[in-house]
Amino acid sequence: MNTKLLNSIFFKIKNLGFLIIVVLFTFSGLNVCGQNLKSNYKRERIKLNEGWHFMLYDANPDNLIYDVRPKIEAENDSKVADSKPTEAVKVETKEDVLKNWILPSANDFIKDPSNKHIRPEGNPGADFPFVKADFKDDAWEKVTLPHDWAITKPFYVGDNPEVGGGMGRLPSQGVAWYRKKLDIATTDKGKIIYLDVDGAMSYAIVWLNGHLVGGWPYGYNSFRLDLTPFLNYGGPNQLSIRIDNPNHSARWYPGGGIYRNVWLTKTAPVHVAQWGTFITTPEISVNEASINLSLKLENKTTSTQTVQARTQIYALDDFGKAKGKAIADFPSETINLNPDEKQVKESKIKLKKPKLWGAYPSQKQNLYLARTRLYIDGKQIDEYDTPFGIRKIEFHPIQGLLVNDAKIKIQGVNQHHDLGALGAAFNVRAAQRQLEMLRELGCNAIRLSHNPPAPELLDLTDRMGFLVIDEIFDSWERKKTPHDFHLIFPDWHEPDTRSFIRRDRNHPSVIAWSFGNEVGEQYTDAAGATIAQKLHDIVHEEDPTRLASASQNYAKPDMPFSKVMDFMSLNYQGEGIRDAPAYLHLKGGIRTSPLYPAFQKAFPDKMIVSSETASALSTRGSYIFPVTAENSAPVSDGVGANPLTKEVSAYELYTAQFGASPDKVFATQDRHPYVAGEFVWTGWDYLGEPTPYYSARSSYSGIIDLAGFKKDRFYLYQSRWRPNLPIAHILPHWNWPNRVGEITPVHVFTSGDEAELFLNGQSLGRKKKVELESRIRWDDVKYQAGELKVVAYKNSKIWAEETVKTTDKATKLVVMVDRPEIKSDGEDLAFITVKITDKNGLMVPNANSKIRFSIEGSGEIVATDNGDPANLVSFTSHEREAYNGMALVIVRSNKRSKGTITLVATSDGLEKTVLKIKNN
């Protein structure tokens, strides 16, 4: 409401007495802005991704900083990942930082009222040009969110780069501004208008019309700010967001910028609070499920409001839409809300014949929707939807994970947040592609390492039936890198944890919480356990229905840290760290024998799961000789790796110093059947942390490479995780003109129990799988060009076959697209695989020709890649060398521009190819 008008009203009635003032504010249900709550409202959620202006400082950024940070004298980003975290460096906070103005943004997530923050007087930054409406930003770059400012830039090359391999050699560091005009209609007067940011990396600070609104430092959490007090109605509003992403802030590629969706949410002054519903299903049977609803309402008026709340349940279809009529109603509630009050109401119902949510592929992914409507005097003022699933989760110490009373072996992977050549900027189709390939692998579980995901990712895991361990922190008070989360842990661990849980707790795919990964507090005895207990208790205050843990790579069964955990979440300790013969020469780091039995003995009532296993390393299609005779060996220059090309052997036997091959992991888990399963490090390669070569850009640990191409390891896991799928996979390829007559070992991954290998029609022997071994090896094969063929058997019957041939020379390009038709929404993507083949259509596995791409029609090339971790060509390049016969092109649709997209691929000496994609 106009301030002058409000003052005028009070002036005119001040002599009429207090009673008239009360009547004025209660008779028609007016809020402080004068909006009549009897009128109809419709909650609006508007995506704000378009029309942003962006500027990244070259140097000399402004002084509008959240807080001072410690100076870095020297930092080795290539240190072994299990190096001991160290104590924080203390720095003195200056009075002119903005921290005290930002901290109140956390108040809704601080339990103890005495710990809530009081905003100081003043309006820092009000005179800074970028927050003013009249500042001319026409010369700034025009961007659409989600936006990662670093992913399109050149890689840092050479020794001692500003950003090292640990953070992906991309310029994600720096300070940037985003500006956008908001038009708020006069009809929005009286509504509460929020800015909802799904993720901004990092130290986001927000101004509206020159007023400092608030912010959120942790780049992975979603947050909300109330814009209402600072809005201009009937005209433009200037939104300005400052992002500050420090170097040496992560052990992987963080991305830079507003890299997830941003929303404008408009509600009535009385409404369902942010993430204000929590649905639990404490009792489930075939015939009936009890469903409990916790509903938090918020009254942002100056008068008491009497609200009726009605929640109905609907079944959801495969597209997440409510189908048909409501199938159940919670009891209607009448709630009296005092001014500026939040209040929680609990209700429950019984649902007959519930359809359960469960893990793919053995169970169905049935989903429901709880639709809450609020009324005042019979008029609807709010509507809030909560998707949920009905399922029973049990962590059993002997049987492992039970989902709806059925044992589900965890066949999981760890996933970082980046999307390869697309960087940190979230895209639903890119994430869906990753999950589709993991499902093909036989993966049924994801551990989100080591931070909250984009909200849409959990929508996908709900629909696709993945089990999720949702994780919040990689560090607490002790640091792994100089500028990581430890700098803000004291102030933000509680609000970050509470907001994380509230956002994600209605997702049925989330089966457990992880509140830490390999934190340094494992080393600090009772002091570390005290911090762990505090975080553990916060998690359970927000969600008492799920178990919570922190992943341990150091803490042993007799340490106080371990006793805090609801279940044992072990990183590498189960199969042992640096304990196998090939690892004994390694210096430093953690060394421990296999600890499954010790943990099981110490905690007989707690489930054990390996939250990180393997950390096997390889580059797709690269084979290095000789091959180790061990079933697991650490990689080093000349031993499973080539330091000149920065390649690691794809025989899938070599690992990080602290790791173990899949073969060793499988055997150890088979020896200890009470272990619930594993989360492999990692499902896909990811940007940053390029062990063992930190002059590279991306990891070597994925089962699938950064471009989305399957490594040989894919078939090793698939043969174990999908035992009923006929699989026979031969490695290596058979193009070795310089190895004629030399020993070239042949390994076979199969879901069968024995196999016979043939070279040019001559049998090289029929072998059975040995107990506790996962591959069949012919280690004395001498290379001769021609044809390798394997016939796999199961129960003495032919099960699967595969043939690998020496190819002719490369002659042409072949392209394949993941989908022939995409949506014209400006967000949908087509992933196009390019292969170099011979005249017979066989991929030439050692072809690395440069390929040029051009495009016409209603789409654009957004990135190219080839899966080579050492390739430092910009992802935006339209020229890309194939890597071991393959390359990738990612094409994005143009918005509101239907038609045909034509991609042309050419290469010197090769027959060009043309691909057409429909953009509808």
Which residues, listed in sequence order, are joined to residue 655 by a DSSP beta bridge? Answer: 616, 634
Contact 393, 546 (CB under 8 A): yes
Res. 4: pLDDT tops 90: no
Sheet of strand 52-56: strand arrangement: 141-143, 52-56, 174-184, 235-245, 204-208, 211-216
Indicate the pTM of the whole model. Answer: 0.94
Q: For residue 511, what are its two tokens? A: 């089966």
Name the least confident of 57-61, 76-80, 223-227, 903-907.
Answer: 76-80
d(CA 69, CA 488): 10
Last residue of a domain, one of 389, 413, 428: 389
Q: Is 802 a catalytic residue?
A: no
282 occurs within a structural domain = yes
Q: pLDDT category, 81, cuts 50, 70, 90? A: confident
Average pLDDT (531-542) is: 98
- Let me know whether 294 and 332 are in one domain: yes
The strand pair at 342-352 and 270-284 is best described as unpaired
- Let me know whether 844 and 797 are in one domain: no
- Let me know whether 793 and 859 are in one domain: no
Average pLDDT (306-331) is: 95
- What average pLDDT does the chain have? 94
Of 317, 323, 298, which Cα lies nearest the Cα of 366?
A: 317
**pLDDT for 740-794, tens place per residue?**
999 999 999 999 999 999 999 999 999 999 999 999 999 999 999 999 999 999 9
**pLDDT for 17-44, tens place per residue?**
333 223 333 333 333 334 455 555 789 9
d(CA 245, CA 147): 14
**What per-residue confidence (pLDDT) applies to 6?**
38
Range of the domain at 841: 810-919
**What per-residue confidence (pLDDT) applies to 896?**
82
d(CA 465, CA 436): 11
Average pLDDT (822-842) is: 97
353 occurs within a structural domain = yes
- Let me know whether 818 and 775 are in one domain: no
Res. 260: pLDDT tops 80: yes
Which one is catalytic: 298, 471, 518, 678? 518
**What per-residue confidence (pLDDT) applies to 9?**
35
- Let me know whether 286 and 307 are in one domain: yes
Collapsing DSSP to helix, strand or coil, 174 comes out as strand
735 occurs within a structural domain = no
Res. 3: pLDDT tops 90: no
The helix (run of H) or strand (run of E) holding residue 434 is: helix 428-441
849 occurs within a structural domain = yes
Last residue of a domain, one of 340, 358, 389: 389
**What per-residue confidence (pLDDT) applies to 87?**
84
- Let me know whether 746 and 818 are in one domain: no
Q: pLDDT category, 78, cuts 50, 70, 90? A: confident
Average pLDDT (663-685) is: 98
Measured from the Cβ of residue 831, the count of other Cβ atoms closer than 10 Å reads 19
- Let me know whether 821 and 801 are in one domain: no
663 occurs within a structural domain = no
**pLDDT for 109-130, tens place per residue?**
999 999 999 999 999 999 999 9
**pLDDT for 704-741, tens place per residue?**
999 999 999 999 999 999 999 999 999 999 999 999 99
- Let me know whether 825 and 905 are in one domain: yes
- Let me know whether 824 and 785 are in one domain: no
Give the CATH number, domain containing residue 770. Answer: 2.60.40.10
Contact 845, 737 (CB under 8 A): no
Q: Is 771 a catalytic residue?
A: no
- Let me know whether 890 and 827 are in one domain: yes
DSSP-derived secondary structure letter, 284: E
Last residue of a domain, one of 344, 361, 389: 389
Query: Amino acid letter at 760?
Result: N
896 occurs within a structural domain = yes
Cα Rg, the chain, nearest whole Å? 29
The strand pair at 342-352 and 288-299 is best described as antiparallel
Res. 201: pLDDT tops 70: yes
Residues 6+ apart with CB under 8 A from 102: 66, 205, 214, 215, 216, 217
Average pLDDT (802-828) is: 97
621 occurs within a structural domain = no
Contact 358, 347 (CB under 8 A): no
The helix (run of H) or strand (run of E) holding residue 21 is: helix 18-26
Query: Amino acid letter at 709?
Result: F
Burial 475-484 (b: 16+ CB within 10 A, else e): bbbbbbbbbb
416 occurs within a structural domain = no
Which residues, listed in sequence order, are joined to residue 387 by a DSSP beta bridge? Answer: 369
Q: Give the residue with greater pLDDT, 1 vs 308.
A: 308
Structural domain count of the chain: 3
Q: For residue 681, what are its two tokens? A: 């490090």
Residues 6+ apart with CB under 8 A from 763: 756, 757
Long-range contacts, 149-154 (Cβ 8 Å, 24+): 149/54, 149/56, 149/174, 149/176, 149/256, 149/257, 150/255, 150/256, 150/257, 150/423, 151/255, 151/421, 151/422, 151/423, 151/424, 151/425, 151/863, 151/875, 152/874, 152/875, 152/876, 153/874, 154/874
Of 851, 810, 809, which Cα lies nearest the Cα of 832?
A: 851
Of 212, 244, 236, which Cα lies nearest the Cα of 226?
A: 212
- Let me know whether 789 and 828 are in one domain: no
Residues 6+ apart with CB under 8 A from 544: none
Which one is catalytic: 333, 477, 542, 612? 612
Of 414, 791, 443, 398, which Cα lies nearest the Cα of 605?
A: 398
- Let me know whether 801 and 749 are in one domain: yes
Q: pLDDT category, 541, cuts 50, 70, 90? A: very high
